[in-house]
A and B are shown apart, each in its own frame.
Chain A
Amino acid sequence: MDVLKLDSGYDAAFVEAVMNESGQDPFACYQCGNCTAGCPYTFVYDLPVHQIMRLLQAGHKGRILQSHSLWLCATCESCTTRCPNNIDVARIMDVLRHMAGREGMITEKQVKQFNDSFLDSVKKHGRVFEFGTLVKYIARSGRFWSDADLGPKVMRKGKIAPRPHDIKGKDEVARIFHSVLGDGKK
């Protein structure tokens, strides 16, 4: 593992940006680890969430934004609910993910592809068309559908709608995409 330079490696602009975008004070964290203790996703994280908090205090942008954990956090709110210092940790995770996305550091491609497929569908129809999302995701990730076994179950039971529901205001919804996210390439 590299030696972390605590003085020269401290990225003040990064810390300030996280504080501004999240409205949280990472320095209130005393590293009790409760967030990690309760996080159901710790077993797939490369950096446990309390270490992300610590790296944030140390201002180490690189190590944080490269972590897979950011893309595996499900915003289950366990950390936020139990943090003894009332830090909204899940919101910090969200904000870090936004930053990683903006800088193109996407370490869990499939998660991002799934999310993008979902949002594309919303943009197109105004509501998510689950079937279309899946098809698009499979095409995008180029992966054989690991849920092929579910296909017959879902189809036979009519569990998934085969056609999208376009809403009247779908253009209005698409405008939200354009106006907040620019040309939607996020």
Chain B
Amino acid sequence: MKIGVFVCHCGSNIAGTVDVAGVAQAAKNFPEVAFATDLLYSCSEPGQEAIVQAVQEHDLDGVVVAACTPRMHEPTFRRAVERAGLNRYMFEMANIREHCSWVGKDKDANTRKASDLVLQAVEKLRFDRPLQAKSFDINKRVLVVGGGVAGIQAALDCADGGLEVVLLEKTSTIGGKMAKLDKTFPTVDCSSCILGPKMVDVSMHPNITLYAYAELESVEGYVGNFEVSVKKKATYVDWDKCTGCGLCMEKCPSKKAYDAFNEGIAPTRAINIPFPQAIPKRAVIDPTYCRQFIKGKCGVCAKVCPTEAIDYEMQDSFVQEKVGAVITATGYDLFDYRKYGEYGGGRYPDVITSMQYERLLNASGPTGGHIQRPSDGREPKKVVFIQCVGSRDKSVDRPYCSGFCCMYTAKQTILTKDHIPDSQSYVFYMDIRAPGKMYDEFTRRAMEEYGAQYIRGRVSQVYPYKDSLIVRGVDTLLGSQVEIEADLVVLAVGAEASRGASELAEKLRISYDAYGFYMESHPKLRPVETNTAGVYLAGACQGSKDIPASVGQGSAAAAKVLALFSKDQLESDPQVALVSQARCVGCGKCVQTCPFGAIQLAEDRAGNPKAEVIETVCQGCGLCTVTCPQSAIQLQHFTDNQILAEVNALCQQAMEESFES
């Protein structure tokens, strides 16, 4: 075998603390190395060209690039060696940046370590064999989980692109948080006017199947061929019959049900349609409040329903769907304002969350768009807004900035002035984060045109006194403690990962951060991909973000799916397990071990049981290879021999040295 070694400078990233020319020189003495050199930027166009040329000039059989992490550029170099006429698996990468040059400052030690890493890669390469990827058919349907604005956008873009879409929504209507908002920053246009038509498009689109009041039960399979089980939760109303007339809701005698859509500021009925523009517009019974369920008698809705849609016996049901890709758009939830005892949220009725305030502002909200104090219905004149509640606060384990609350607070001060011209808004802030287009101008408008008083500092305590709420804070610019006798206090609560986000992530086998937000594959270059092929992200489930950014990601994820589905077949990764028929005794241990169900027992021609790997299902994790008592399963490109060769490369010299001394 003739091996070529290319040692990358990565500008000064590597060359700053590693003698790259020295490493290349050393590599010339490694087994079967026919050519070695250093390159300034091996991933650049001239860098890649140099590799291609060297392969051709020196008739190389395999290539080692010593550079950065393979996560980013392994595919780049594989393509380069392929262009040079080699099999793309006759290539190895040694990570001498993250694993070496960025770790220590001692140049001699780094250079030695880099040489060792290159030797290791060379030893592995000597056992590499050309591998051929197999092709498989894909199912060009996509599942979108979560029907907020991000999910809606993704679903519509995919559907318009000709794909069949299955849209799954946990609650009984799509729309997410945006459906609850009154107006939206930075243009102050009506939220339902811009979201409503999109929601209708979803319901009318021939390519979209919508399951509302449904959750993802399980996911099997892999990119191109997922099989998902959808749980349709019992609504106790037959939606094929329900016309959304609302008669049941009008007549239902149980009037104290919790209204999640209105954030609990007013009660709803045990049977309800969350809001008039709901999609689908269908009724659901909440059994925790329904008298039929609690007391065993009532049945009013069943009597009044003109289409006999009520079914108290209904059970959860399951449907199976086959899709080739999944977009998760499960959004966020709000920080629990009761965690700040000093603000008294939950104890003092006139301390409310920003989302509750949106419902008070909203013309289709429970107060018909009149701002009223929950305690006595009085119109507030002095409204205090407190920012960063449950954001940027390590003491409640929420150190991150939620990103949109500065902006929506500014919006809410503007709307407050619009609704109540003789009102005064006060905003306690630590910093104003308004980096979007026309965003800073928007917050300035709140102050300059609408007269909102911005006070730089936190609030330490809110407490009721006589008819008001005393808000005690600080104005750090004045260096003074300040107090406001307020009528209403609005807490700009931050965003948290949506409830159940981590469970869903486990089902989809995608990763999430310490706070439950989903991890993108690369923070800059692969923002809507996950590390699981075929699973994409959109909207606030990846991290708190506003509507423009959520919609942008919805479209981006759709574009990724459309690109994926632009081919009829996908190539499977050939770095999978392979069974040696001669060694396998058919014990089946591997079948039990494989977490992906990628191994099955078959019979050879003589009728003996033998393990068999389904290549497209195998994820190359290697668990089976260590389980097999016969060493009959080998992970291709990571065989036992290759691993041992690597270990030897590192240890042999060290062992010899230690015996000498």
Contacts and interface: CB of A to CB of B under 8 A. Distances in A.
Interface of A: 28, 30-34, 36-39, 42-43, 48, 50-51, 78, 82-86
A51 B479 contact: yes
A87 to B, nearest CB: 10
A84 B391 CA distance: 10
B395 interface: yes
Contacts of B392: 30, 84
B461 interface: yes
A140 B613 CA distance: 92
Given A30-B430, A51-B479, A85 B460 contact: no
Contact of B476 (A31, A38, A39, A85): A31
B430 A36 contact: no
Contacts of B396: 84
Given A78-B460, A82-B460, A36 B395 contact: no
Contact of A34 (B456, B458, B482): B458
A37 B475 CA distance: 8
Contacts of A51: 479
A50 B430 CA distance: 13
Contacts of B324: none
B459 to A, nearest CB: 6
B566 interface: no
B393 A37 contact: no
24 contacts: A28-B394, A30-B430, A31-B476, A33-B456, A33-B458, A33-B476, A34-B460, A36-B476, A37-B457, A37-B458, A37-B459, A37-B460, A37-B461, A37-B472, A37-B474, A38-B460, A38-B472, A42-B481, A43-B481, A48-B474, A50-B474, A50-B476, A84-B392, A84-B394
B393 A33 contact: no
B479 A34 contact: no
A82 B342 CA distance: 9
B394 to A, nearest CB: 5
B342 A39 contact: no
A50 B477 CA distance: 11
Contacts of B457: 32-34, 36-37
B480 interface: yes
A76 B516 CA distance: 36
Given A32-B430, A34-B458, 14 more contacts: A30-B392, A33-B457, A34-B460, A34-B474, A36-B457, A36-B479, A37-B457, A37-B460, A43-B481, A48-B474, A48-B479, A82-B342, A84-B392, A84-B396
Contact of A85 (B394, B473, B481): B394
Give 9 nearest A-B pairs by CB, closest first.
Answer: A38-B460, A37-B460, A33-B474, A37-B474, A33-B457, A84-B393, A34-B458, A33-B476, A32-B458
Contacts of B342: 38, 82
Contacts of A31: 476
Interface residues of B, number: 22
Contacts of A34: 457-460, 474
Interface of B: 342, 392-396, 430, 456-461, 472-476, 479-482
A85 B398 CA distance: 10
A39 B430 CA distance: 18
Contacts of A85: 394-395
Nearest to B477: A33
Most B CB atoms within 10 A — which of A31, A34, A50? A34
Contact of B395 (A30, A37, A43, A83): A83
Contacts of A83: 395
Nearest to A83: B395
Contacts of B456: 33
A120 B44 CA distance: 78
A84 B460 contact: no
B481 A48 contact: yes
A22 to B, nearest CB: 18
Given A30-B430, A31-B476, A50-B476, A37 B481 contact: yes
A43 B481 CA distance: 8
A83 B392 CA distance: 11
B395 A84 contact: yes
A31 B396 CA distance: 17
A36 B396 CA distance: 20
A83 B395 CA distance: 7
A50 B475 CA distance: 11
A38 B461 contact: yes
A78 B459 CA distance: 13
A83 B35 CA distance: 62
A159 to B, nearest CB: 32
A65 B342 CA distance: 31
A37 B474 CA distance: 5
B480 A48 contact: yes
A33 B482 CA distance: 11
A37 B473 contact: yes
A28 B393 CA distance: 11
Most B CB atoms within 10 A — which of A28, A48, A51? A48
B457 to A, nearest CB: 4
A31 B431 CA distance: 11
A179 B459 CA distance: 44
A86 B392 CA distance: 12
Contacts of B461: 37-38
Nearest to A78: B460
A24 to B, nearest CB: 13
Contacts of A36: 457, 474, 476, 479, 481
A52 to B, nearest CB: 11
